Structure 1
Amino acid sequence: MADPNVSPDPRLRQPAHYSRQEVVSALSDFYEFLATLPHIDSSAIDHPPPGGWPEITNQSLAKWDIHKPDEVVELLRHLPYIRGEIGERFNWMAPECFACDWRLASRSDLRELRPPPPAMHWLRQNSRAEWQWPEWVVQLTAGRDREEWVLLLDTTDGTVTRYYSMYYVYKPTYPEGDPRSWRDRCCDETLPIREFLEKWRQKYVRMEWLGIPNEILSAIRTGWIPFDEEEGKGDDSDTEDDEPQPKGKWADDTTNLVRIYKEHGWPHDFKRDECRRALLEWKRAQPDYVKNLDYD
């Protein structure tokens, strides 16, 4: 619940308010959008039963030394989740970014694995000994390494802020003692969750991000490289979307991917399955193709 004693958030155009239903709805809508892309199947998206995921409880979290307010636990119980592998394969939702599946906290067998699987380090980092954010903050995404993108949901106001673990060099936004000052150690953008995820959706629409099916090391390729204003004009995209294409150029190693997407009707008449097959054929023709993987 929002603190009535704090000043208006300087990062927001208008006040934001937390609603569990809105968080669930925003994530569900974004995940369903991802399922229209070639690299995530709708069968990998799980929606909670009417009473929430029964395996997510205060007790199951406590076994990982994770302690959250009851309201936050109820949110975790009602979130949709994208199923991923415990090993090396992930259902990526952004570059170096996969969705956290809090149901894994109930897997007692995973606590005993040494070293922990790459997909599990985020859960250990949420323990009381390591978690560096307030207890009302929920980690929604994680990555494989130090360049991971971590989305942090603040359940006091329903906003999301991205933490980039390599560095932060942003001027502090909040005064000392402000309950939101933890965000000053993150990126300098905070948005309501639906607005934040819409910006990510537009990156796919504009093909700034390109999903590649079942690629073991990276299922998202960064396709569009924006120019700074002083660098001059770049190519124009012929996509029609809610936000203008920034000035820039296509990355040299993504021009074929862009062509395949466009040939299959992206974004307005997209033939998803046909595009997926074409992308797999393209991938198999690459020198770095790993032949012992089942891409089908």
Structure 2
Amino acid sequence: MSSSPPTQDQDTWDSAPSYSHDEIIAAVHEFYVAIIKLPYIDPDALVLPPAVGWPGVREDELRKRGKTDEVVELLRHLPYLRNPGGREKWMLSPDTCEIAYCDGEMYDDIMDELQPTPSHCSVTQWAMLGGSLMFPYDEYEQLATEDKWMAYPTLPARDFFQLWQARWEKLVWLPVHSPAGGRATALWWYRVMPGSDDEEAILISDDEFTLNSDHGDDEDVSSSPESEEQDEGDEKALSDSEVNDILQEAFGEEAQSKRVEFASAQAYEPFPPRSPVLDLRSEREKRSEKRAKIQGLYQIYKDNGWPSNFDREKCKLEIEEFRQKTSLL
């Protein structure tokens, strides 16, 4: 039996049961109140709507892009984070930037072509690799473009925002201010990968976090002659998450297509040409250094009272010193 989701026509979604207007507004407000505690966001960026709604929302443009009257009305009454100006956008999660509809901002309309979503309402998170898919990638590729959003897990809006808040509160996500001058205002580090079993254990636990073998440490690789033969086989021992990390660092936005390309080569070539053997010890040294930086960031947050007695300004200064000292970016 195919695990592909059923298709839905536009009329079905336009007649979908209404959500709670007030509940969504409250969930977004709670979400923003939580995020402005983070050191890289200006607390004064949070702005609340007037009673009659934001006059700057571009209603005609939103309707032209297929948004319903209900969605437009919701956008007119949401709180927002006013972006710092220029090209910069506040980052709400890894690869997710704020859109201040209150100031007439809009998302790039090419997104409606690349990944269309229903017109009734959606809160979407950008996903570049296939780890978020609920069924195999080849089945996903066979879906019609307008149905591909259904391949991803969904949550009610309040649950969605509460999950993100939990990731900050438990420091699964460790954002650092990015002074690079691009659109993004933060660089995001992870204690563990979102959606993993390790993350679930952290979110339900009150224990302090320590970096050990349970969170992905690699065993030390000896340089003795006996280990040289093993080095060639070590490449096969890389976990999926390690492969994703390496491809992401090497190919950026093309990481997913490269992984599919490599997988196809392995599937169809009985004896594919062997690529140069990775210096796995060097890779493990890099990952060890990365984990040490993550541990240092985590400790800075905790030493400054995160989350309940947080000294935001002191933490901000210490993170900046740590960033410069460790070449964190």
Shorter-chain TM band: 0.5 to 0.7
The DSSP-based 3-state class of the residue aligned with 2:192 is: strand
Inter-partner Cα distance in structure 2 for 1:288 and 1:171:
35
Q: Which residue is 1:46 aligned to?
A: 47
Q: Give the whole-Å Cα distance in 1 for the aligned partners of 2:44 and 2:196.
A: 40
**Contact 2:40 2:185 (8 Å CA) reproduced:** no
Q: Which runs of 5+ in 2 are unaligned?
A: 1-11, 137-145, 217-289
Pick the aligned partner of 1:124 from 69, 90, 109: 109
What whole-Å deviation, never above 9, does each CA across 1:26-59 have from its counterpart, x for those lacking one?
0110100011121212211111111111122432
User: CA–CA distance in 2 between the matches of 1:49 and 1:58?
Assistant: 16
TM-score, scaled relative to structure 2: 0.56
Match of 2:33 in 1: 32
**1:256 and 2:219 matched:** no
CA distance in 2, matches of 1:33, 1:207: 13
Shift of 1:126: 5.6
After superposition, the Cα gap between the structure-2 partners of 1:171 and 1:94, relative to the gap in structure 1 and judged at 3 Å, is: same
Structure 1's 221 and 56: CA in aligned 2 closer, same or farther, altered over 3 A? closer
8 Å contact kept, 2:36–2:42: yes
Deviation of 1:170 after TM superposition, in Å, equals 2.2
Give deviations 1:214-267, integer Å, cap 9, x for gaps. Answer: 54456142231259779xx99x97459xxxxxx526833312111211211122
> How far, CA to CA, are the matches of 2:76 and 2:197 in structure 1?
45
| 1:238-257 paired onto structure 2 within 5 Å | 238-239=207-208, 248=215, 251-257=291-297
2:310 to 267, 270, 278: 270
**1:97 counterpart = 2:82:** no
Whether 1:135 aligns to 2:119 is: yes
Pick one of 185, 190, 194 that aligns with 2:158: 194
Alpha-carbon offset, residue 131 of structure 1: 6.3
Query: 1:78-128: per-residue Cα shift (whole Å, max 9, x none)?
Result: 111112245443211111112222235x46xxxxxxxxxxxx6x332366x
Classify the secondary structure of the residue corresponding to 1:36.
coil
**In 2, Cα distance between equivalents of 1:222 and 1:88:** 22
- Structure 1 unpaired stretches of 5+: 1-5, 7-15, 108-119, 141-150, 152-161, 173-179, 241-246, 290-296
| 8 A Cα contact 2:304 2:314, kept in partner | yes
Give the aligned partner of residue 61 of structure 1.
62
Max Rg structure: 2
Letter aligned with residue 282 of structure 1: F
Change (3 A) 1:288 1:218: same
- Residue 164 of structure 1 aligns with which residue? 127
Report if the CA contact (8 A) 1:205-1:239 is conserved: no
Structure 1 residue identity aligned to 2:78? L
Corresponding residue number in structure 1 for 2:186: 219
Distance in 2 (CA, whole Å) between partners of 1:133 and 1:21 is 23
1:262-283 C-alpha deviation (Å, 9 max, x unpaired): 2111223221121112112222
AA aligned opposite 2:90 = N
2:188 aligned counterpart, secondary structure: strand
- Cα distance in 2, alignment partners of residues 260 and 209 from structure 1: 14
Contact 1:211 1:220 in 2 (8 A): yes
* Cα distance change, pair 31–239 in 1 and its aligned pair in 2 (3 A): farther
What is the distance in 2 between the residues matched to 1:56 and 1:26? 20
Higher fraction of helix: 2
More strand by share: 1
The answer to whether the 8 Å contact 2:89/2:97 transfers is yes
After superposition, give the CA deviation of every residue in 1:61-81 in whole Å (9 maximum; x if it has no partner).
Answer: 36xx42322111101111111
Taking a change above 3 Å as real, the CA distance of residues 95 and 30 of structure 1, as seen in their structure-2 partners, is same
% identity of equivalent residues: 26
Distance 1:59 1:276 in 2: 41
Structure 1 distance, partners of 2:328, 2:159, is 37
CA distance in 2 between partners of 1:74 and 1:268 (Å): 35
Is contact 2:56-2:101 (8 Å) kept?
Answer: no
Partner of 2:225: none
| Aligned counterparts of 2:85 and 2:35: Cα–Cα separation in 1 | 20
Q: How many correspondences in the alignment?
A: 221
The whole-number CA distance in structure 2 between the counterparts of 1:66 and 1:131 is 13
Quote the Cα distance in structure 2 between the aligned partners of 1:51 and 1:131: 32
Distance 1:55 1:228, change over 3 A: closer
Task: Provide the residue aligned with 1:71 in structure 2.
Answer: 70
On the 8 A contact 1:90/1:98 being kept in 2, the answer is yes
